[in-house]
Homo-oligomer: A and B are copies of this chain.
Amino acid sequence: MSAVAGSERRARAVLSFLAEPGEAALGALLKSCGPGEILDAVLSGKEPRAALPAVGRDVPGLASAFGRWRARAGRIPSPARLEAWERRGMRLVCPGDPEWPTQLDVLGDARPLMLWVQGSADLRFACLRSVSVVGARAATGYGQHVATEMAAALAERGWAVISGGAYGIDSSAHRGALGADGVTVAVLASGLSYGYPQGHHELFAAIAGQGVMVSEWPPDRAPTRPGFLVRNRVIAALSGGTVVVEAALRSGALSTARHARDLCRPLMAVPGPVTSDLSAGCHEIIREWGAVCVTGARDIIEVVSPSGEGLGPRRRGPACPRDSLDPVTRAVLEAVPARTGSGPAAVAVTAGVDLNTAIGCLGALAAAGFVERCVRGWRLRKDA
């Protein structure tokens, strides 16, 4: 179900082997040139301005960027290698694809070129109602406990939990959401098949089974130290708000918080004992950055969804009886799972209708109160 032409998709994939995520020069070029055009220019060996006459304004650092990208031309994978990754369940999601999370567009020139995505949930749907829960790797028992409980409570109320897959707070958040049968999204700073940290391979498999694994890096890429900071902008931009559970002063754990603040996304922090160095960063961003002091999922949902949507049950019965539905709509309704949710394409296949028909029927069924959107697409409303 890709809306983006194969040539552009391939060009973005190849460029992701040449440029580093977040490189401003590439983001600036993409404002006036297509990815294929840029790739051709890089591979042409010509001066950038000669190869890309369409680039209007001056792009700072373009010549050196071309140099770096050309130096990596040997890394370009064969189409067969890309396909092998895709056969192993890793899908390329590009801007314009239905699964593309459009909230990343606020990143401007630093918007990811594309994302490698692996897992059963739909990335876009999952992130529509999501919270990033992040913090220190060397977390305390207190921090891990709070992160687990908070993530579980968020998941129980239908919110996806986004984090970075690291040790400490990140893994507690993922595990809390998984334990509550919720959807969780891990945004890695390594490639997906590399899967850093390696001690989390089982956790990553569980996340892929019940949520989504995401990376901007080619699947086999090892992480680099600056890559973690670059990755954090995606964690902040994907979600409706960021919660820092534990962080020391001036620690890397605050970099996601800084991105959330700079993007004007809701920023929250969990307080802790003032005697704990690992709560000092939380207290500082509450005091100095205006992060909201949150103590549980209820507080968080009040911040990210001020209307109170998602705070508790809001059940009413459907507007008309099932029997009154036409046969096609009824077939689509029967293809919608009760709990876990399915994307429109899966519903269409199960119902034996085409995608547009499925999307139209799902809209009508939602209006009538039979189905509802959830992190993985559509599911039956419990009262239907």
Residues of chain A whose beta carbon lies under 8 Å from any beta carbon of chain B: 142, 145-146, 270-275, 279-280, 282-283, 286-287, 292-296, 299
Residues of B within 8 A of A292 (CB): 287
B293 touches A286 (CB 8 A): yes
B286 touches A146 (CB 8 A): no
Number of copies: 2
Taking the closest CB of chain B, its distance from the CB of A92, in whole angstroms, is 40
Taking the closest CB of chain B, its distance from the CB of A357, in whole angstroms, is 47
* Most chain B beta-carbon neighbours within 10 Å: one of A146, A272, A280, A287: A287
B273 touches A273 (CB 8 A): yes
Partner pick for A274 among B146, B283, B286, CB 8 A cutoff:
B146
8 A-B pairs (CB sep. < 8 Å): A142-B273, A271-B273, A271-B274, A271-B279, A271-B282, A272-B274, A273-B273, A286-B293
Of all chain B residues, the one with the shortest Cβ separation from A279 is B271
B283 touches A295 (CB 8 A): yes
* Most chain B beta-carbon neighbours within 10 Å: one of A270, A271, A280, A294: A271
Of all chain B residues, the one with the shortest Cβ separation from A146 is B274
* The 10 residue pairs across chains A and B that have the minimum distance between CB atoms: A271-B271, A274-B295, A286-B293, A287-B293, A283-B295, A283-B293, A273-B273, A271-B283, A272-B273, A146-B274
Partner pick for A275 among B146, B275, B286, CB 8 A cutoff:
B146
Partner pick for A271 among B146, B293, B296, CB 8 A cutoff:
B293
Of all chain B residues, the one with the shortest Cβ separation from A270 is B274
Of all chain B residues, the one with the shortest Cβ separation from A280 is B295
Residues of B within 8 A of A274 (CB): 146, 270-272, 295-296
Residues of B within 8 A of A294 (CB): 287
Taking the closest CB of chain B, its distance from the CB of A136, in whole angstroms, is 16
Taking the closest CB of chain B, its distance from the CB of A148, in whole angstroms, is 12
Taking the closest CB of chain B, its distance from the CB of A145, in whole angstroms, is 7
Of all chain B residues, the one with the shortest Cβ separation from A299 is B287
